[in-house]
Amino acid sequence: MISAVRCALFALLVLAAPARAEIAGQSDLAFTDAVGLWLQGEDAEALAALSALSNVGNTAAQVFLGRIEPLPYFHAHVTADMERKDRIALLRRDGGLSGKNWLAVAAETDPLAAALLDSRDVTARAAAVPALAEAGEVRALLRIFIGEMSAGNGAAMMDAMLDPRVRPHVGELARQTLADLHTTAAGMPPVTADQLAAWTAQLAEVPPTDADRLIAALNFADLYSNSSLRSFASGQVFASAPVVRPLVSVCEALCPDQVPGCAMVLGAASQTMGGATMATLSPVETLLPSATYQNAPRFQADILRQAAGVFSTLPASAQADACIVGHIDGEN
């Protein structure tokens, strides 16, 4: 008999997810059970289950394991002390000296897996954008957008950034890109006046809030060298910004008397890893909605592990926020 917990988890992972093409094996109870273990922070059991499923051809397990394997904060607390051959056997498909990432295996038959794999390839990532936008894979898209903007290809990304499924997560990135396009064409493909007008109109449909403007303009590290910025960001505007809210929730649980300072430390750490939004998102939206991930027991530990990995690069004043620093140190 399927337990009530398993039924609830199935609803969270499958029924509550936005309608999109399903990856083979996604609805298998063995897979939802494995993800349920992962969300609870039972990493050794979850990774073993995902590895076993991957080895018997469950594509969803291959995609999930293939996405988390390159991100140490998702598994290094379990795998770092393993023998190399055992770690490879757990996280990758057997073969050769280092095995093969399971996402590459899944990409041989699954179009979304292929797009996620291409998102890691600087020469192929732009072509992967339409498929990733269709699937709502915001984490992968953010990495592409940031990389393409840095390479001067922001104009080529604008239509994807303004996709209704993607825009809520990247609105300020799109506004920044559009502002750049209005002021300079250096290093960018030709952009017509009609294109600029159309993009401007689309962005106007979602006016930025004060919180959005603050987060877009703010380098979290600056908070520790600018007392007026720090004071302003300690207020409700900062705490209400959607990009910061998941980090604030962690701080409310761990440091209820130092929430603003705690959130700024976690924000600064997240920013060094590609942005505060990316740090809080599910590794695979299609298989695990970010809202489910952010409310799971493991989310807090993942955020702390990410911060621990980059903590030494933060300003000294950030490293002095005693409460959250104690929790981050506990992950080292």
Rounded-to-integer distance, Cα 239 and Cα 211, Å: 8
Confidence of residue 243 (pLDDT cuts 50, 70, 90): low
Q: Identify the pLDDT of residue 172.
A: 64
Domain ranges of the chain: 1-109, 119-207, 210-329
SS3 29: helix
Secondary structure (H, E, C), 44-110? HHHHHHHHHHHHCCCHHHHHHHHHHCCCHHHCHHHHCCCCHHHHHHHHEECCCCCCEEHHHHHCCCC
Q: How many CB atoms lie within 10 A of CB 279?
A: 23
User: How far lies 67's CA from each of 53, 62, 101, 105, 307, in Å?
Assistant: 15, 8, 9, 12, 19
For position 277, what pLDDT does the model report? 65
Secondary structure element (H or E) that encloses residue 122, with its range: none
Q: Which two tokens stand for residue 295?
A: 């409310």
Tens digits of per-residue pLDDT, 263-288?
Answer: 777 877 776 545 556 788 899 999 99
Rounded Cα–Cα distance for residues 267 and 19 (Å): 31
Mean pLDDT is lowest, of 167-181, 215-229, 297-311, for 215-229
CB within 8 Å of 318: residues ≥ 6 apart: 221, 223, 224, 264, 265, 268
Cα distance between the two ends of the chain = 41
User: With the CA atoms of 266, 271, 277 and 278 taken in that order, what torsion angle do they form, in degrees rounded to the nearest 10?
Assistant: -110
Residue 299 has pLDDT above 90, yes or no: yes
β-sheet bridge partners, residue 92: 101
Question: How far, CA to CA in Å, does 316 sit from each of 33, 51, 223, 268, 312?
Answer: 42, 41, 12, 12, 9
- 109-132 pLDDT per residue, tens: 999 999 999 999 999 998 898 899
In whole numbers, what is the pLDDT of the chain averaged over residues? Answer: 79
Residues facing residue 100 across a β-bridge: 93
